[in-house]
Chain A
Amino acid sequence: MSTSTAAHHDDHGHDSHGHPTGIMRWVKSTNHKDIGTMYLWFSFTMFLFAGAMAMGIRAELFQPGLQFVQPETFNQLTTLHGLIMIFGAIMPAFVGFANWQVPLMIGAPDMAFPRLNNMSFWLLIPAAILLVASIFVPGGAVAGGWTMYPPLSVQAGMSMDMSIFALHILGVSSIVGSINIITTIFNMRAPGMTLMKMPMFVWTWLITAYLLIAAMPVLAGALTMLITDRHFGTTFFNAAGGGDPVLFQHVFWFFGHPEVYIMILPAFGILSTIIPTFARKPLFGYASMVYATAAIAVLSFVVWAHHMFTTGMPVAGQLFFMYSTMLISVPTGVKVFNWLATMWKGSMTFETPMLFSIAVVFLFTIGGLTGLVCAILPVDIQLQDTYYVVAHFHYVLFSGAAMSIMGGVYYWLPKWTGHMYDETLGKWHFWTTTIAFNVTFFPMHFTGLAGMPRRIPDYSQQFAEFNMISSVGAFALGISQLLFLYVVIKCIRGGEKATNQVWEGAHGLEWTVASPAPFHTFETPPQVK
């Protein structure tokens, strides 16, 4: 392939690409790799910030009674932790991966719209400022939970307006980013890279981008109705005017359920990339993996009301949403079994990315099964708003999404930096994270089943032991992430030189370019056989 000639080739043919140095390199960037790097650092900063809020929550819950924070502050902590982790940490991390990897994987010179790509990133900054600054306005940050249900959100103070506009801006960023990704995948593939030859990560992001384009505008609509209800006298969510607070929940979860797949499908893509590499076998059932991803995406739009089983729906509606939700476990199961079959009789080695991937297959499946439990209508009525739900979604979002991100970072870090990371420290990070995660969240299944409600700063004496265990685990989990930061910085600053292929079992276009990947790659499209 003709890629090595592209290295450090700044002034070529059609336009001057002499990229600025210093801060302007990043501010004015139109380079998918630089923008991907910014996304990943932004995401990690937000991850630590929202993680610190979780530490505040667990410190308060270490013992029954009120110790450190007032109930209002506690509510602000849970709300902002959720909002920032979802919109500031998980989603931008996956977009960072998409930016770095999609053009490399399909043999494109860059994203289809490089300037819009940078705009998608820079829109995250005002949104983050609005969210974080809302802590300091009169009345404090939003405290009604990340789902912003009315009537609480209609009555809340100025911070609610700031959060709503922050989410509007994030929505613009996501929609523009998704259009960019879809266009890149459909229009920028190297000759010979047919759709069914695309790496699984590209497929999952293509489908995720569709979910974003379809779901984000609906959230924008819900938030706009919230703003007009708050300030312009509309009655969308007010029964006195013929509206209904539950209407917000319907519109919100029509966005919200696809949103949870937006946060997991790219993780599936990362797993489907890492596992074949370290099992040294091609991905088992590639086509079924593609169809399963598409099936999950379609189903995600017809299950939203399972978040609202206790709002008083007609039984027919409840049953429909119960069965459609359970149906999702079929394509998800296809994926889990495909990963297992990929590992079956493979020559496996257990480098840090593989350890993370295997842990995700195992722990995500636990989260998936508790999801199935929550889908069962009569059980869910008991479990709604208990710690069981908190345990469930942290098993899918932390040990599903966040740990896939960590695995992906270790997997591609040598390609990004040109250095191998410290394998020993990476394994330490893996084991401390995995153990601490389970110590934190596994007991929540028990406290939840015993009836401990979430989003409450105080609790009955009977939950004391399990909460203490959870808090100890949470602090260990938090500290482990500082180790992650250290390993990443150490790898950027130096380390064993990485080869182009990096991993023995790695296949695909991204492993044919130099490590670190040169500033411009695939300016002349490679031929894919």
Chain B
Amino acid sequence: MSQSTKNYYLPGPSFWPLIASISLFLLAGGFTMVLNKISMGTPLMIAGAVSLTYLLFGWFKEVIGESVSKFYNKQVDLSFRWGMGWFIFSEVMFFFGFFGALFYARNVSVPWLADAKLLWPDFVAGWPTSGPGLTEAFTAMGPLGLPAINTLILLTSGVTLTWAHWGLMKDKRTQLKIGLALTVLLGAIFLYLQMHEYAEAGFTIKTGIYGATFYMLTGFHGLHVTMGAIMLSIILFRVMKGHFNSHDHFGFEAVAWYWHFVDVVWLFLFIFVYWL
């Protein structure tokens, strides 16, 4: 980190916060209308998505510009570390809520439904289940096959990312670029296989509590992999432009932390959603 700036960098007035507010308003309002079949909804949502994309690229471009202009001192760098760390913690808590729902369904609500002989006396507890009210047969997703391959892919992507990090630390730029590109590629393959798995699955999100927990947990994880892959691509783009060096690369590290977090979530998914 450059020591040329003594004071903590305080940005001047900025329009980005207002654009963030307008984007989310358009997205939320538009989505409400889409859900309630009001035709205005779709254009509003598109406007919101466009504005949000513009916001993310514009704001991050500004921050990256400040970073490469050496406006940030060590203390600012530390702020970004604290910020990213606790952001990931909030994500952990988000997944915690959904895993909690899964454990509650498996260990509490489904056994209770089987014990209560009032409405559905023939219902037997078990997992996976689509509940007593939905009777169509379905085939559950096992851990072998695609899920196992996907686990291997994500774990490998963690290794390639660390290998890229080593390259960065030792100023081996080629190793850094290859490592990053491999990580993005593995992320993309993971997403492709995940979509394939969805297409082949013998049940839908409407298949009772099993379908609901399966698709919400894996779906939100997939969304995070997508975000992570986009972030990694931007880091790769920045590396190509010559950003980052062995002692100043928190942008890289932040995305790496995020990627490893997404990895760990997958391991829990693999164990509790696919396997047990």
Contact = CB atoms under 8 A, between A and B. Distances in A.
A378 interface: no
Contacts of A161: 31-32, 35-36
Given A119-B20, A220-B97, A30 B32 contact: no
B212 A234 contact: yes
A284 to B, nearest CB: 32
Interface in B116-147: 119, 129-134
Given A119-B20, A162-B32, A30 B90 contact: no
A389 B163 CA distance: 58
A242 B109 contact: yes
A241 B93 CA distance: 25
A217 B90 contact: yes
B104 A250 contact: yes
B108 interface: yes
Contacts of B130: 241-242
Contacts of A251: 97, 100-101
A356 B25 CA distance: 38
B14 A247 contact: no
B242 interface: no
Interface residues of A, number: 82
Given A15-B71, A118-B17, A182 B86 contact: yes
Contact of B13 (A30, A123, A217, A254): A30
> Which of the listed residues B17, B79, B216 has the most CB atoms from chain A within 10 Å of its own CB?
B17
Given A161-B32, A233-B205, A234-B205, A187 B79 contact: yes
Given A112-B82, A242-B113, A179 B87 contact: yes
B83 interface: yes
B132 A242 contact: yes
A179 B90 contact: yes
A217 B97 contact: yes
Interface residues of B, number: 70
A495 interface: no
Interface string B6-43: 11111111111110111011001101100110000000
Given A115-B11, A118-B17, A251-B101, A241 B31 contact: no
A251 B96 CA distance: 10
Interface string A40-56: 00000000000000000
A237 to B, nearest CB: 10
B211 interface: yes
Contact of A247 (B24, B86, B104): B104
B98 interface: yes
Secondary structure at the B interface, as helix, strand, loop or mixed, is helix
Interface stretch (A20-28, A70-78, A438-446): A20-28
A244 B106 CA distance: 11
A172 interface: yes
A333 B6 CA distance: 45
Contacts of B90: 175, 179, 213-214, 216-217
Contacts of B131: 235, 238-243
Nearest to A18: B12
Interface stretch (A94-102, A224-232, A261-269, A425-433): A224-232
A507 interface: no
Secondary structure at the A interface, as helix, strand, loop or mixed, is helix
B13 A15 contact: no
Nearest to A162: B32
Contacts of A123: 20-21, 24
Interface string A322-336: 000000000000000
B7 A14 contact: yes
A186 interface: yes
Contact of B97 (A29, A221, A240): A221
B10 A110 contact: yes
Interface in A193-235: 213-218, 220-222, 224-225, 227-228, 230-235
A19 interface: yes
B105 interface: yes
B61 interface: no
Given A126-B28, A183-B83, A242-B113, A119 B93 contact: no
A149 to B, nearest CB: 15
B91 interface: yes
A328 to B, nearest CB: 21
B210 interface: yes
A395 B22 CA distance: 37
Interface of B: 5-18, 20-22, 24-25, 28-29, 31-32, 35-36, 59, 71, 75, 78-79, 82-83, 86-87, 89-91, 93-98, 100-101, 104-105, 108-110, 112-113, 119, 129-134, 204-206, 208-213, 215-216
Given A178-B86, A243-B109, 13 more contacts: A13-B7, A19-B12, A30-B10, A158-B36, A221-B94, A221-B95, A225-B212, A232-B206, A233-B204, A240-B132, A242-B210, A247-B105, A251-B101
5 tightest Cβ-Cβ pairs between the two chains A and B: A240-B133, A221-B97, A242-B131, A126-B25, A28-B13
14 contacts: A27-B18, A28-B15, A110-B8, A118-B14, A158-B32, A158-B35, A158-B36, A168-B28, A179-B83, A218-B94, A235-B212, A242-B130, A244-B108, A251-B100
